[in-house]
Structure 1
Amino acid sequence: MKKNLAAPVDIDLQPGYAIRRLHQISVGIFLQSVGEGGVTPVQYAALQVVSNQPGIDQRTLARNIALDTSTTGGVVDRLEARGWLERRTSPEDRRARQLFLTRAGDQTLAETIPAMLRAQEQILAPLTERQRQVFMRMLQVLVTQNNDMSRAPSNIR
């Protein structure tokens, strides 16, 4: 009989595993709340950042939503194909493209925000108000302190 060399480890007690599971749950709740044909969590983030910073360039958008530039390019392509985002040539640098929401993109974002907020509430629903505050504070510490270890570090505010 072959003996395992590795010591048994309970994956349910590992933070990385729990974070991955929470991410899966979070995405599932978001998509249920937003509904079929709605935006994905990453598309929502891109729309919200462009709404907050009209004229942002794609590279800065990538840093703000913590994605690599090629993935962000695909997200922008899909949002543009859906008529929610447009690229314009920067007046300062003709090689750069600025991003703006279209009227339809602004409307989609406005319609998505209530569903997104319901999803956030549902994610945290098992926690008391005090636990939510502590959890979010600790989560921000982990994200901020480990940001540089990401394959796509964000512009942390």
Structure 2
Amino acid sequence: MLFTDSSFSPETSPGYLVRMIHQMNVAAVDRALAEDGLTAMQWTTLVSLFFRHADTCGGLARKLGHDKGAMTRLIDQMEAKGWVSRQRDDEDRRLIRLTLTPAGTETALAAKRKVIACWNGFLADWSDADVAEMIAMLQRLRHTMEEKMAEESDACAA
């Protein structure tokens, strides 16, 4: 099905639906992690460092769709809590690499268990096959969008 003027509304818009799901997830994760002094944004930053999706403030900002200045302030807070350490890159002294401290790793793993509990609660009445299909579809959409955006970027550079 391709969208038309008559078939496209907020309730059928993938962007709108993903945005609403994201907002509800952030609110739920914020509540679940509040007693640990952790926010959803701090959690996503910790987990991004844990899985090595990025290791600089700029890289994290790009990966998480966050402002570089705000990301720097967030890293400052996380460093003050003892969760993240900064080291200058040996080969390029302009770069500051970020790593989780042992306390940061412990915090990330404890938070991961709470986030898993949130998602298990949301999906409690879904079958394993439904969950696997949803994840596969979202991964497929992400891959398609990444390819299309790369093509557009390449076309603009030419």
What TM-score comes out, normalization by structure 1 length? 0.72
Asked whether the 8 Å contact 1:29–1:123 carries over to 2, the reply is no
Aligned residue for 1:4? none
| Deviation by residue 1:119-140 (Cα, 9 ceiling, x = unmatched) | 2222323422111111111111
Superposed CA RMSD in Å reads: 3.0
Matching of residues 1-157 of structure 1 within 5 Å: 10-53=9-52, 56-63=55-62, 65-68=63-66, 70=68, 71-147=70-146, 149=149
Indicate the larger mover: 110-119 or 40-49.
Answer: 40-49
* Deviation at residue 105 of structure 1 after TM alignment: 1.6
Q: Is the 8 A contact 2:33 2:40 kept in 1?
A: no
Q: Deviations over 1:98-145 (max 9, x none)?
A: 112223222212321210211222232342211111111111111221
Q: CA contact under 8 A between 1:34 and 1:115: conserved in structure 2? A: yes
- Find the aligned partners of 2:19 and 2:55 in 1 and give their Cα distance: 30
Contact 2:87 2:98 in 1 (8 A): yes
- Between the aligned partners of 1:133 and 1:18, the Cα distance in structure 2 is 19
Q: Which runs of 5+ in 2 are unaligned?
A: 1-5, 151-158
Identity %: 27
- Whole-Å Cα distance in 2 between the matches of residues 95 and 68 of structure 1? 21
Unaligned runs of 5+ in 1: 1-6, 151-157
3-state SS of 1:91 partner: coil
Following superposition, the deviation at residue 85 of structure 1 comes to: 0.9
Deviates more, 1:138-147 or 1:34-43: 34-43
Q: Look up the equivalent residue of 1:92 and give its one-letter code.
A: E
Give the whole-Å Cα distance in 2 for the aligned partners of 1:49 and 1:79. Answer: 13
**Which shifted more, 136-145 or 73-82?**
73-82
CA distance in 2 between counterparts of 1:139 and 1:124 reads 15
Count, aligned residues = 143
Partner Cα separation in structure 1 for residue 67 and residue 23 of structure 2: 23
Matched residue of 2:60: which SS? Answer: helix
Question: 1-side partners of 2:9 and 2:60: how far apart?
Answer: 38
